[in-house]
């Protein structure tokens, strides 16, 4: 049984999350707390398997509690986020501090029941996650995103006609992508990304990455050309596809139904890359729960593309990479710390 501790200052949310957990056959409500200070003693006496954590709470906010928890006694944490710009910033900061995943607060009481199954799925994924002590989490929780050094030249807006890199990720992918992209130089082929993320968060995610990378990172726009040194993140709630154009690669966005229950879907992006780039594609599947991307990665390999999967030891959740490896879709299995150097070498080759 997955023991879940709910920390939220809203009595409505505590009751709702308690019902979600209590209705699952594989979960048990370990307790509820209205603020982190009340939860500390409970965690010491009987550590839960997963914590759901609100950001804005009295006496100690969620980010400060998370920073201390991950530095001393790491546990899988799923954040409860508000659907605002400030909420998105706080959520992404929480992921940097070691939270496994997040879900937004429903906009209305009527919408609560509809989001219950998705919340339960995120809790299950978190229970499987590998979390470790984050010494770097001692940084101030209000620290701003480090800005790109002034001396770094931005990539040109030159359409790319050679190779292109596709990356798919889910749970744990936000930090894995940050780890990889901040190590890459501006002189790279275009990189297209399908990260399972809800609408309202991908724009903030791309902007934060852009502020800390030599590459130019943005949320993908329909009809634009993929340029050298550019990174294009699929908008939450929309599929990202790549088409061949007269000058290189053109990006397309689609509102087609979810694939593998996801939109954006990694399978959708990878299948479009198989058609548009073929042997010129380098495809990578990162940490995440489920199997999205595995079948299309196999199609890419059969079509002559170079295919990679993150290894188990460095994956927060070894679901998507495991499925790809089991299918024989990955030519190489790479640890997270080696991914950037491997992409750089493959792009140069």
Which of 292, 311, 314, 315 is flagged as catalytic? 292
Catalogue the E-assigned strands of 236-279. 239-244, 249-254
Element spanning 38, H or E: helix 36-45
Cβ proximity of 79 and 101 under 8 Å: yes
Determine whether 101 is an active site residue: no
What distances in angstroms separate CA 167 from CA 186, 268, 281, 321, one per listed residue? 17, 12, 11, 12
Residues 102, 95 contacting (CB under 8 angstroms): yes
Structure tokens that stand for 200 in this block = 């309202």
113 a catalytic residue: no
Structure tokens at 77: 């944490």
| Annotation marks residue 315 as catalytic | no
DSSP per-residue codes, 103-168: EEPPSSGGGHHHHHHHHHHHHHHHHH------GGGGS-TTPPPPPPPTTSPPPP-PBP-S-EEEEE
- Contact status, residue 298 vs residue 323, Cβ threshold 8 Å: no
316-336 in b/e burial notation, b at 16+ Cβ within 10 A? Answer: bbbbbbbbbbeeebbeeebeb
CA 209 – CA 281 distance, rounded (Å): 23
Could you give the CA distance from residue 328 to residue 324 in angstroms, rounded to a whole number? 6
**Which residue among 101, 196, 216, 262 is the active-site one?**
196
Question: Which of these is catalytic: 170, 216, 272, 315?
Answer: 170
Q: What angle do CA 194, 75, 85 make, to 5 degrees?
A: 45
Catalytic residues: 170, 196, 292
């Amino acid at each position: 049984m997955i023991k879940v501790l709910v920390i939220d200052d809203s009595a409505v949310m505590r009751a709702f999350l308690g019902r979600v957990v209590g209705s699952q056959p594989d979960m048990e409500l370990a307790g509820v707390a209205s603020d982190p200070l009340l939860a500390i003693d409970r965690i010491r006496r009987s550590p839960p398997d997963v914590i759901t954590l609100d950001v804005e709470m009295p006496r100690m906010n969620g980010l400060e509690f998370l920073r201390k928890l991950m530095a001393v006694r790491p546990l899988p944490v799923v954040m409860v986020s508000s659907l605002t710009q400030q909420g998105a910033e706080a959520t992404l900061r929480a992921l940097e501090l070691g939270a496994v995943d997040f879900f937004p607060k429903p906009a209305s009481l009527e919408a609560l029941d509809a989001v219950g199954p998705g919340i339960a799925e995120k809790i299950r994924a978190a229970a499987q996650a590998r979390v470790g002590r984050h010494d770097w989490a001692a940084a101030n929780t209000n620290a701003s995103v480090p800005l790109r050094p002034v001396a770094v030249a931005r990539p040109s807006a030159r359409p790319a006609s050679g190779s292109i890199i596709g990356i798919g990720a889910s749970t744990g992918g936000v930090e894995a992508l940050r780890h990889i992209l901040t190590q890459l130089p501006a002189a790279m082929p275009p990189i297209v990304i399908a990260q399972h993320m809800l609408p309202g968060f991908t724009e903030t995610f791309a902007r934060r990455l852009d502020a800390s990378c030599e590459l130019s990172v943005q949320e993908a726009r329909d009809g634009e050309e993929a340029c050298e040194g550019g990174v294009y993140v699929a908008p939450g709630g929309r599929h990202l596809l790549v088409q061949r154009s007269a000058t290189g690669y053109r990006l397309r966005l689609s509102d087609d139904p979810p694939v593998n229950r996801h939109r954006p879907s990694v399978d959708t992006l990878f299948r479009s890359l198989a058609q548009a780039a073929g042997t010129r594609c380098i495809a990578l599947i990162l940490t995440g729960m489920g199997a999205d991307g595995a079948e299309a990665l196999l199609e890419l390999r059969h079509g002559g593309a170079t295919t990679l999967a993150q290894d188990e030891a460095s994956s927060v959740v070894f679901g998507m990479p495991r499925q790809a490896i089991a299918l024989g879709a990955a030519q190489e299995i790479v640890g997270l710390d080696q991914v950037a150097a491997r992409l750089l070498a493959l792009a140069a080759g």
